Amino acid sequence: MLDNYHILILDDSPVQCMHVAAMLKEVGFSRIVQAHTAGEGLERMRRQPDQIVVLDLDMPDTDGVQFIDRIASCGFTPMLAISSSHSRRIVKSVSLMAKERGFPVIGHFPKPFSLQHAHQLRRQCLAFCEANLDAAPQPPALLAPLPAAPDALWNIDMLRQALRGDTIQGRFQPKMSLHTGRIVGAEVLARYIPAHGQETLPEFFLPAVRQHGLEQELLFKMLHDGLQAHCTWRKLGYHVPVAVNLSVPLLQIADLPDRLHAVVIAAGVAPGSVTFELLEDDAVNAPSLYHMGASRMRLKGFGLAQDDFGRGHSTMYNLISTPFTELKIDRAFVSGAWNDEVRSAALMCAVTLGKELGLSVTAEGVETQEDMDLIKRIGCDYAQGFFIAAAVNTAQFFRVLEQPSTMV
Q: What is the pLDDT of residues 93-129, one digit of tens each?
A: 788 778 877 888 888 888 889 999 999 888 888 877 7
Structure confidence at residue 102 (pLDDT): 81
Q: Which of 218, 172, 200 is nearest to 396 (CA)?
A: 172
Tell me the fold of 2-131: Rossmann fold (3.40.50)
Tell me the average pLDDT across 331-356: 91
pLDDT tens digits, 1-15: 566 788 999 998 999
Task: Give the pLDDT band of residue 219 (cuts 50, 70, 90).
Answer: very high
Structure confidence at residue 141 (pLDDT): 40
Residue 360 has pLDDT above 50, yes or no: yes
Q: Where are the domains of the chain?
A: 2-131, 150-402
Residue 131 has pLDDT above 80, yes or no: no
Q: For residues 246 and 288, is the Cβ–Cβ distance under 8 A?
A: no
Exposure pattern of 35-65 as b/e (b: 16+ CB <10 Å)?
bbbbebbbebbeeebbbbbbbbbebeebbbe
Per this entry, what is the length of the chain?
Answer: 408
Residue type present at position 263: V
The H or E element that residue 276 is part of is strand 274-278
Q: Which of 17-21, 101-105, 220-224 bottoms out in mean pLDDT, i.e. has the lowest?
A: 101-105
Structure confidence at residue 132 (pLDDT): 62
Residue 149 has pLDDT above 70, yes or no: no
Q: For residues 106 and 78, is the Cβ–Cβ distance under 8 A?
A: no
Q: For residues 35 and 12, is the Cβ–Cβ distance under 8 A?
A: no
| Phi-psi domain of 365 (left: phi exceeds 0; alpha: psi -120 through 50; beta: other) | left
Structure confidence at residue 282 (pLDDT): 59
87-101, 170-184, 185-199, 308-322 — which one is most confidently predicted on average? 170-184
Chain centroid, CA 389 distance in Å: 10
Structure confidence at residue 138 (pLDDT): 42
Residue 90 has pLDDT above 90, yes or no: no
Q: For residues 112 and 126, is the Cβ–Cβ distance under 8 A?
A: no
Is CATH 3.10.180.10 the classification given to domain 150-402? no
Q: For residues 331 and 361, is the Cβ–Cβ distance under 8 A?
A: no
Question: Virtual CA dihedral for 119, 121, 125, 131, nearest 10 degrees?
Answer: 90
Structure confidence at residue 137 (pLDDT): 41
Return all residues near 104 (Cβ < 8 A) that are at least 6 apart: 77, 79, 80, 128, 367, 386
Q: What are phi and psi of 226, to 5 degrees?
A: -65, -40
Q: What is the percentage of the chain residues whose pLDDT exceeds 90?
A: 49
Tell me the average pLDDT across 225-252: 96
Give the chain's mean pLDDT: 86
73-87, 99-113, 236-250, 316-330 — which one is most confidently predicted on average? 236-250
Query: What distance in Å separates the CA atoms of residue 370 and residue 359, rounded to the nearest whole number?
Result: 24
pLDDT tens digits, 278-329: 976 656 677 778 888 999 999 999 999 999 887 755 567 778 888 999 999 9
Structure confidence at residue 280 (pLDDT): 62
| Helices marked H in 38-114 | 38-47, 64-73, 88-100
Q: Which of 194-208, 290-304, 382-396 bottoms out in mean pLDDT, i.e. has the lowest?
A: 194-208
